[in-house]
């Protein structure tokens, strides 16, 4: 009996490569929230995260013909997302008054307007909290590679080896980036972590610990 493919998403992407829109829909449904979460912590304007995620999946559809399963699908996906984020940051530096327009409908890509399902009432309360804002502020202030490495570890659940591929760095450099990012966050958040006001559940996530299982 043949062993199951350890990366079923790669199988889905190979079906997308053959023009299977149902497989594309399945990938969008599974990965949209992690991509939105990544974009929220990468762009200077979190309000554009949804459009960036939309652009990521449009680009995924465009590049499907060139896809080869040499790495996990998530590595391929977050490489696209990171490149689009960097391009957007560079564009905003040149044209700060512009905003990102979602390229819906281009290249006959299937239309999937991404809904941010994280905006539940509980999340809204958390977003409004001062502590959550402090964490987000600390993340935004990290150097780009440190922030990206930490967010991919937390939001994308990528291994250090996979993060190294996305960043184009060595494994040792990736480990160092994540370690420095965690130490910087611990230093920034120490007054809150030591005050007793922070819930014990949030502390490890703020410092880059393992996220809860994705539903």
Instruction: Quick: pLDDT tens for 98-148.
Output: 544 444 444 556 655 555 555 555 544 544 466 667 777 888 888 999 999
Indicate the burial class of 121 (C-beta count within 10 angstroms; 0-12, 13-18, 19 or more).
exposed
Give the residue with greater pLDDT, 167 vs 4.
167
Instruction: Quick: pLDDT tens for 15-60.
Output: 999 999 999 999 999 999 999 988 888 876 667 888 999 999 999 9
For CATH 1.10.10.10, the residue range(s) in the chain are 118-207
Q: Which of 56, 202, 60 is closest to 136 using CA atoms?
A: 202
Right CATH for 118-207 from 1.10.357.20, 1.10.10.10, 3.40.50.300, 3.40.190.10: 1.10.10.10
What is the CATH architecture of 7-110? Answer: Orthogonal Bundle (1.10)
For CATH 1.10.1740.10, the residue range(s) in the chain are 7-110
Residue % of the chain over a pLDDT of 70: 66
- What is the C-alpha separation between 39 and 34, in angstroms, rounded? 9
Please give the structure tokens belonging to residue 35: 């991509």
- What is the C-alpha separation between 163 and 79, in angstroms, rounded? 9
Please say whether the beta carbons of 27 and 15 come within 8 A. no
Please give the structure tokens belonging to residue 107: 């290249």
User: H or E element: which one contains 91?
Assistant: helix 73-94
Instruction: Quick: pLDDT tens for 163-208.
Output: 999 999 999 999 999 999 999 988 888 876 654 443 343 444 444 4
């Amino acid at each position: 009996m043949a062993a199951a493919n350890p990366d079923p998403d790669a199988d889905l992407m190979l079906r997308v490569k053959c023009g299977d829109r149902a497989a594309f829909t399945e990938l969008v449904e599974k990965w949209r929230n992690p991509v939105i979460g990544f974009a929220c912590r990468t762009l200077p304007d979190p309000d554009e995260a949804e459009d960036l995620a939309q652009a990521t999946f449009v680009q995924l559809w465009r590049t499907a013909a060139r896809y080869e399963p040499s790495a996990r699908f998530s590595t391929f996906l977050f490489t696209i997302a990171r490149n689009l984020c960097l391009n957007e940051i560079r564009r905003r530096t040149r044209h700060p008054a512009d905003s990102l327009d979602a390229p819906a409908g281009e290249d006959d890509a299937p239309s999937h307007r991404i809904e941010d399902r994280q905006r539940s009432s509980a999340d809204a309360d958390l977003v409004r909290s001062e502590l959550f804002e402090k964490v987000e502020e600390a993340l935004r202030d990290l150097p780009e590679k440190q922030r990206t490495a930490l967010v991919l570890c937390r939001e994308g659940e990528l291994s250090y080896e996979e993060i190294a591929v996305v960043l184009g760095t060595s494994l040792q450099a990736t480990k160092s980036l994540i370690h420095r990012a965690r130490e910087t966050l611990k230093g920034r958040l120490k007054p809150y972590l030591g005050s007793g006001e922070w819930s014990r559940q949030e502390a490890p996530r703020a410092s880059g610990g393992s996220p809860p299982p994705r539903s």
